[in-house]
């Protein structure tokens, strides 16, 4: 079976097994559309988002950040997933939303999206400062601001606390990786596009070295400090192998960071019809659950794969990163038994044991 189609069907099976039939049906429809062009993962033409895009703000001891929250047309006050999106340098929430088409995806799959914004007063290029030690710690600096925004959205809207995710591109990707590590009690899964792993930098100079050369910095010491019992939050990584802004070696640092808990599981190759080829590798823990999904897009530069030209730093010729991020996210949720004492060892993220694929039709029939 085509690997892209298989992953879509498996995600639908997970959701159906958890009783989320509406999203399971949406994902199956996407799989059927993709089946008409088996070699293609290229995104469909962009659809205009139909919901509300609101401007809000959050303040704590670390400062103030404005943010935008997208309320999809499919939201009707029921507990829904939340995806937090962090822009790259020089970008804005509107730019990121346009380039990724995440709001249109939210309309289709009924989840909320929050877009924190880094102001010029914090960084002249509007970069999230993922490389500073003060912005790599729980309840301090930028992580506290983004986590605070996340919690504020969770208070203001009906958000399922088991299904909250964070993703980012470039500097925003580096920040997302940090948030997944220091707030495993908040985020069930992480998405990093063209970004950096935790532990590769501790100041601006080492951050620049990591970006330009792929230098791992203190990564090994960081992994050792976490200990053998550390269980990373499930992460999906996209990286173009022609990226001259973030060295592609950075994508491999994520697999190094899970080496103590995971193992290489399998590798798939594919090609977008008329576009880029790609290699997708999954890493699993001892229980066989995927803890890392890595996509290397061949021939792609520093750009959101499969994105819309309505936004900056996008490449429409790559596989659809927006869809793959959301598909990956919806396969994970936090268990109800999570305890605050577990924050250093995120054992909370689980995959529901799904029915067998052959049982999917029967499962849907019984629940409708």
Tell me the pLDDT tens digit for each residue of 126-181. 999 999 999 999 999 999 999 999 999 999 999 999 999 999 999 999 999 999 99
Range of the domain at 136: 3-337+345-367
How far is Cα 83 from Cα 159, in angstroms, rounded to an integer? 10
Domain count, the chain: 1
> Cα-flanking dihedrals φ and ψ of residue 190, to 5°?
-130, 145
pLDDT of residue 232: 79
Q: Interior CA angle at 103 toward 107 and 312, to 5°? A: 155
Q: How many CA atoms lie within 13 A of 323 on its CB side?
A: 24
| Range among 7-16, 102-111, 333-342, 354-363 with highest mean pLDDT value | 102-111
Question: Other C-beta atoms within 10 Å of 240: how many?
Answer: 27
pLDDT of residue 287: 76
pLDDT in tens, 72-95: 999 999 999 999 999 999 999 999
How far is Cα 277 from Cα 348, in angstroms, rounded to an integer? 35
pLDDT in tens, 270-288: 999 899 999 999 988 777 7
CATH number for the domain that contains residue 94: 3.40.50.1820
pLDDT of residue 60 exceeding 90 = yes
Q: Is the dihedral of CA 143, 146, 149, 150 positive or negative?
A: negative
Question: Other C-beta atoms within 10 Å of 209: how many?
Answer: 17
How far is Cα 323 from Cα 25, in angstroms, rounded to an integer? 15
Look at the block and give the residue holding tokens 């399971």: 24
Look at the block and give the residue holding tokens 């088991």: 162
pLDDT of residue 48: 73
Q: Interior CA angle at 99 toward 316 and 233, to 5°? A: 95
How far is Cα 263 from Cα 208, in angstroms, rounded to an integer? 29
Cβ proximity of 315 and 36 under 8 Å: no
Burial class (CB in 10 A: 0-12, 13-18, 19+), 286: exposed
Average per-residue pLDDT in the chain? 83
Six-digit token pair at 101?
């088409």
């Amino acid at each position: 079976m085509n690997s892209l189609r298989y992953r879509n069907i498996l995600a639908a099976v997970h959701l159906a097994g958890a009783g989320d039939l509406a999203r399971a049906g949406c994902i199956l429809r996407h799989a059927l559309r993709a089946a008409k062009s088996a070699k293609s993962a290229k995104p469909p033409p962009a659809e205009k988002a139909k919901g509300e895009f609101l401007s809000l703000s959050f303040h704590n001891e670390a400062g103030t950040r404005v943010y935008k929250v997208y309320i999809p047309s499919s939201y009707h006050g029921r507990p829904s997933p939340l995806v937090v999106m962090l822009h790259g340098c020089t970008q804005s929430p509107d730019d990121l939303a346009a380039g990724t088409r995440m709001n249109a995806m939210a309309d289709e799959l009924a989840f909320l999206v929050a877009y924190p914004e880094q102001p010029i007063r914090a960084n002249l290029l509007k970069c999230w400062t993922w490389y500073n030690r003060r912005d790599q710690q729980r309840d301090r600096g930028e992580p506290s601001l983004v986590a605070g925004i996340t919690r504020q959205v969770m208070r203001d809207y009906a958000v399922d606390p088991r299904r909250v995710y964070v993703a980012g591109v470039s500097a925003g990707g580096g920040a997302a990786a940090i948030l997944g590590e220091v707030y495993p009690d908040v985020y069930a899964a992480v998405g990093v596009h063209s970004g950096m792993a935790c532990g590769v930098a501790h100041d601006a100079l080492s951050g620049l070295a990591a970006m330009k050369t792929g230098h791992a910095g203190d990564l090994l010491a960081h992994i050792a400090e976490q200990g053998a019992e550390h269980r990373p939050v499930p992460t999906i990584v996209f990286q173009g192998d022609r990226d001259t802004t973030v060295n592609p070696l950075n994508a491999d640092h994520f697999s190094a960071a899970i080496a103590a808990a995971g193992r290489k599981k399998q590798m798939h190759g594919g090609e977008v019809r008329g576009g880029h080829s790609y290699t997708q590798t999954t890493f699993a823990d001892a229980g066989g659950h995927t803890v890392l999904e890595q996509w290397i897009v061949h021939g792609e530069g520093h750009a959101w794969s499969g994105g819309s030209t309505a936004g900056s730093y996008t490449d429409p010729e790559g596989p659809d990163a927006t869809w793959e991020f959301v598909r990956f996210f919806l396969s994970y949720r936090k268990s109800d038994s999570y305890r605050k004492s577990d924050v250093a060892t995120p054992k909370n993220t689980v995959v529901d044991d799904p029915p067998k694929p052959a049982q999917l039709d029967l499962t849907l029939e019984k629940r409708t």
